[in-house]
Amino acid sequence: MNNNIPSTPGKFKMDKPPYIHRFRWHYSSLAKLTFWSVVFLGLIVVFFFKSPSTSPPSPNSDLSRRSLKTTSWGGPAWEKRVRSSARIRSPNGLSVLVTGAAGFVGTHVAAALKRRGDGVLGLDNFNDYYDPSLKRARQALLERSGVYIVEGDINDVALLNKLFEVNPFTHVMHLAAQAGVRYAMENPNSYVHSNIAGFVTLLEICKNANPQPAVIWASSSSVYGLNTKVPFSEKDRTDQPASLYAATKKAGEEIAHTYNHIYGLSLTGLRFFTVYGPWGRPDMAYFFFTRDILKGRSIPIFEAANHGTVARDFTYIDDIVKGCLGALDTAEKSTGSGGKKKGDAQLRVFNLGNTSPVPVSELVSILERLLKVKAKRKVMKLPRNGDVPFTHANISFARREFGYKPTTDLQTGLKKFVRWYVGYYGSGKKGDH
């Protein structure tokens, strides 16, 4: 991931002014000075007319946007686009800012909200943690259904302020994050940057907004860490994360508590359990197993100690979308405004899983049948890189609160994924992703 934010903004050094010689005012010097002044002024005029239009001036925005390499934003046409995308088109509809809208879950949720007439504005930094062309394809998909994705980072205070100034969002669906359990050992700071700093930045904007939006955001099943009591219930302990990814998501839950407590923000965390499906994430096992089986490459299948089974409560994307919409629809209003709490506000955490764990080896068998290709299995010990051997969700709380009921088993969901995958990448040996 591109993590090139200067650690100490303002460290850029200005060039030293050239040494100014003392000189006498001869006639020839004056003529030379006049000549070069005219040339210099001419250059300024040319530069002024040729320079591309940039976003409006706003405090602090220049440095942060330069460092984040986002494209320009702002101006009347841009604001009109933002407003139009966020406009509610059905009675009692919501106006939702979806962060991470070019991501896997973000795209599906944004499309579903738009379909039912809610106003939706996307925000995404299009980072290159995985192939950005897949994110661009999702963006094109959303564009066709009328959802505009603003290109920018959740750490960009000026941009976030502008978005809330242009449109008073009733809800924020916060799905932007640095995902992936194993990558946290390679690039730990990207997790801190997105999942902690970015989350705090976003909550600061939300608490200052007037009216404050209700915030629904993606936590993770990984917060259960080394918990051994199954199925995992929201009441179980979550103080033993096995990866930095999990630790940042757990930190998010604590941060959410703070903003709810001090500022009256309505906050709902959703613990997603290994979400899969069409338009999914290429860094996830079901996705790259599919690619590698088709390419005839061997696939590493992890097993726990003493040849124990590694299993996941794989959850199909459509079920997760229903859970997200249920959480949005039952979110109560925040109670504060303009940074001041006016009363107690809602604070919730839900498991969104499938309640039916499947061993990874069985996932591979299903893929073999669907792809009609035998996998080259390479069974290996679960590396010590943050993976946990088992996940299993207890979903009774989400069922009680908003009727959450997953309906897609792994076989059915993978069938839909494989159909999409082959349509998108082809069934053969075409390029990597």
Residues that bind ligand UGB (CB under 6 A): 179-181, 220-222, 272-274, 284-285, 300-302, 310, 312, 360, 387
- Please report how close the Cβ of residue 287 comes to ligand UGB at its closest, in angstroms: 7
> Pairing relation of β-strands 148-151 and 95-99?
unpaired
Between 224 and 402, name the residue whose CB sits nearer to ligand UGB: 224
- Please report how close the Cβ of residue 70 comes to ligand UGB at its closest, in angstroms: 24
- Please report how close the Cβ of residue 300 comes to ligand UGB at its closest, in angstroms: 4
- Please report how close the Cβ of residue 65 comes to ligand UGB at its closest, in angstroms: 27
The residue at minimum Cβ distance from ligand UGB is 220
Between 116 and 295, name the residue whose CB sits nearer to ligand UGB: 295
Helices 199-208, 157-166: crossing angle, 10 deg rounding: 40
Between 104 and 164, name the residue whose CB sits nearer to ligand UGB: 104
Between 42 and 300, name the residue whose CB sits nearer to ligand UGB: 300
- Please report how close the Cβ of residue 81 comes to ligand UGB at its closest, in angstroms: 31
- Please report how close the Cβ of residue 355 comes to ligand UGB at its closest, in angstroms: 14
Between 79 and 131, name the residue whose CB sits nearer to ligand UGB: 131
Q: Please give, one letter per residue, the 3-state secondary structure of the chain.
A: CCCCCCCCCCCCCCCCCCCCCCCCCCHHHHHHHHHHHHHHHHHHHHHHHHCCCCCCCCCCHHHHHHHHCCCCCCCHHHHHHHHHHHCCCCCCCCEEEEECCCCHHHHHHHHHHHHCCCEEEEEECCCCCCCHHHHHHHHHHHHHCCCEEEECCCCCHHHHHHHHHHCCCCEEEECCCCCCCHHHHCCHHHHHHHHHHHHHHHHHHHHHCCCCCEEEEEEEHHHHCCCCCCCECCCCCCCCCCCHHHHHHHHHHHHHHHHHHHHCCCEEEEEECCEECCCCCCCCHHHHHHHHHHHCCEEEEEEEHHHECCEECCEEHHHHHHHHHHHHHCCCCCCCECCECCCCCCEEEEEECCCCCEEHHHHHHHHHHHHCCCCEEEEEECCCCCCCCECCECCHHHHHHHCCCCCCCHHHHHHHHHHHHHHHHCCCCCCCC
Between 100 and 336, name the residue whose CB sits nearer to ligand UGB: 100
62 Cβ neighbours under 8 A, 6+ residues apart: none
Closest CA to 268 of 335, 324, 205: 324
Between 163 and 360, name the residue whose CB sits nearer to ligand UGB: 360
- Please report how close the Cβ of residue 375 comes to ligand UGB at its closest, in angstroms: 12
421 catalytic residue (yes or no): no
Exposed / middle / buried, residue 307 (Cβ in 10 Å: 0-12, 13-18, 19+): exposed
Catalytic residue among 129, 148, 224, 245: 245
Between 70 and 248, name the residue whose CB sits nearer to ligand UGB: 248
- Please report how close the Cβ of residue 208 comes to ligand UGB at its closest, in angstroms: 29
Active site residues: 245
